[in-house]
């Protein structure tokens, strides 16, 4: 009994336990997503987050202790964001052919995502911290988290809202754009990339190759534009 | 692997330095992303050199997002108290943004006499 207490006190002090738990939870989440044939609601991150949150609550571990282990994984968001330049570079040629419609749709979609979210939040009287956390939620996770930190939001709330945005976007895009009778795969893909980042892009690739490539361009460009629009839009609502 | 990772970290570092030094609204990694695209245009071989490491990182992009997501447990009360406002804000803005972006793209492409949409679809 004494021994078990000693081992637990070691584990709860070192980053090893929660780093291992994070990787294992993601592994399980990924297998679960695969078992559900990669349906858009079966998101591996969602599974992993629910598993880890339950584990933390059961063991009475606070988030700070968990994060000491998980920070190594969290750090990788930065270098991974830099790597998003690669798909953007690969698609530069296709981007040049459709540059005017692309830029028009980027500005319209990005502005709509930020302003509509803030307008609803404002109507509900949400706190400034929640508004700042909400503003960048259509950008890809690492970028949204960076923007949220800069605006005085809570990065962890932003992370959850980004995830929610991606899942909602991936589920509604096909019925919504069918109802609007939009048949141009470039327009369909680009729109979901701008509004619902990587999760939307993954969904677009499942439906059509062209849509997927344009979704990737939309995600990359909106990561840059949201960083500029979100602080300006937030000022409008303060 | 290590030389490629070191190069990626150098772009990240340069991005952070530029973002902070010029007090840009764009986060450091995004500046690094733009630097990488620019460097790739000047020197396409750089992209081939980085591709294996970058593909490995991007293939696991969603993993890196888990620790921040677990932060939900530190804010459960705030989510519960503001569930309607946050949920509706995300739902309404995502539906509108997809619709507006797709309609704008299709409309501007038609204005410019671009028929590629018909070819694919």
Tally of domains in chain A: 2
User: 3-state SS of chain B: helix, strand, coil percent to 5?
Assistant: 85, 0, 15
Do A124 and A226 belong together in one domain? yes
Q: Mean pLDDT over residues A103-108, rounded? A: 96
Residue A185: the pLDDT is: 92
Residue A143 has pLDDT above 60, yes or no: yes
Highest mean pLDDT: which of A72-76, A102-106, A162-166?
A102-106
Question: Could you read off the pLDDT of A40-92 as tens digits, one per residue?
Answer: 677 788 889 999 999 999 999 999 899 999 999 989 988 988 988 888 888 78
The residue from A75, A104, A124 where one domain ends is A75
The residue from A19, A49, A75 where one domain ends is A75
The residue from A57, A75, A93 where one domain ends is A75
Do A63 and A89 belong together in one domain? no
Q: With contact defined as beta carbons under 8 Å apart, do A204 and A189 qualify?
A: yes
More confident residue, B76 or A131: A131
Mutate to test the interface with B, among A81, A145, A154, A197 (most CBs of B within 10 A): A81
Do A207 and A95 belong together in one domain? yes
- The answer for residues whose C-beta is within 8 angstroms of residue B69's C-beta and 6 or more apart is A45, A46, A48, A49, A156, A159, A160, A163
d(CA B66, CA B48): 29
Whole-structure pTM value: 0.80
* DSSP code string of B68-90: HHHGGGGSHHHHHHTHHHHHHHH
> Is the CB of A95 inside 8 Å of chain B's CB atoms?
no
Phi and psi torsions of B55, nearest 5°:
-65, -40
Question: Could you read off the pLDDT of B22-31 as tens digits, one per residue?
Answer: 988 778 888 9
Do A126 and A172 belong together in one domain? yes
Do A11 and A107 belong together in one domain? no
Do A107 and A22 belong together in one domain? no
Sketch the domain layout of chain B as residue ranges: 1-61, 72-121
Nearest-CA distance A153 → chain B (Å) = 12
Inter-chain Cβ pairs, chain A and chain B, closer than 8 A? 349
**A196/B98 Cβ within 8 A:** yes
For residue B50, give the DSSP letter.
Answer: H
Highest mean pLDDT: which of A162-176, A201-215, A216-230, B36-50?
B36-50
d(CA B38, CA A85): 9
Mutate to test the interface with B, among A83, A145, A210, A227 (most CBs of B within 10 A): A83
**A184/B109 Cβ within 8 A:** yes
In A130-159, the residues whose Cβ lies within 8 Å of chain B are 130, 134, 137-138, 141-143, 145-147, 150, 154-159
- The owner of tokens 């409008």 is A236
**A92/B112 Cβ within 8 A:** no
Domain that holds residue A190: 83-236
Do A62 and A89 belong together in one domain? no
d(CA B95, CA A173): 8
Q: Mean pLDDT over residues A161-177, rounded? A: 90
Do A39 and A151 belong together in one domain? no
Q: With contact defined as beta carbons under 8 Å apart, do A101 and B114 qualify?
A: yes
Do A120 and A34 belong together in one domain? no
> Is the CB of B20 inside 8 Å of chain A's CB atoms?
no
Do A160 and A202 belong together in one domain? yes
């Amino acid at each position: 009994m004494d021994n078990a207490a000693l081992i637990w006190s070691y584990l709860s002090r070192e980053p090893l336990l929660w780093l291992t738990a994070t990787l294992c939870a993601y592994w399980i989440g990924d297998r679960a997503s695969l078992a559900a044939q990669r349906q858009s609601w079966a998101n591996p991150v969602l599974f992993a987050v629910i598993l880890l949150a339950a584990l933390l609550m059961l063991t009475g571990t606070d988030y700070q202790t968990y994060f000491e282990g998980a920070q190594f994984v969290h750090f990788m968001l930065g270098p991974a964001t830099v790597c998003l330049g690669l798909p953007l570079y690969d698609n530069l040629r296709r981007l040049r052919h459709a540059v005017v419609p692309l830029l028009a749709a980027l500005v319209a979609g990005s502005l709509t995502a930020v302003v509509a979210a803030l307008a609803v939040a404002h109507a509900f009287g949400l706190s400034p911290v929640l508004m700042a956390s909400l503003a960048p939620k259509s950008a890809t996770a690492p970028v949204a988290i960076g923007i949220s930190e800069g605006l005085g939001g809570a990065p962890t709330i932003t992370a959850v809202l980004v995830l929610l945005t991606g899942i909602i976007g991936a589920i509604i895009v096909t019925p919504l754009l069918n109802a609007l009778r939009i048949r141009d795969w470039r327009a369909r893909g680009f729109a979901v990339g701008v509004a619902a980042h990587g999760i939307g892009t993954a969904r677009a690739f499942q439906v059509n190759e062209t849509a997927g490539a344009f979704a990737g361009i939309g995600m990359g460009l909106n990561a840059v534009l949201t960083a500029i629009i979100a602080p300006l839009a937030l000022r409008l609502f303060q | 692997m290590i030389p490629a990772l070191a190069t990626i970290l150098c772009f990240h570092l340069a991005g952070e330095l530029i973002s902070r030094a010029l007090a840009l609204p764009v986060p450091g990694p995004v500046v690094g992303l733009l630097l990488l695209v620019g460097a790739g245009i000047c020197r396409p071989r750089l992209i081939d050199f980085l591709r294996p490491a970058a593909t490995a990182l991007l293939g696991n992009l969603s993993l890196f997002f888990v620790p921040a997501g677990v932060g939900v447990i530190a804010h459960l009360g705030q989510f519960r108290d503001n569930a309607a406002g946050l949920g509706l804000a995300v739902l309404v803005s995502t539906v509108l943004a997809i619709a507006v972006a797709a309609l704008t793209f299709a409309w501007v492409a038609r204005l410019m006499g671009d028929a590629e949409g018909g070819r694919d679809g």
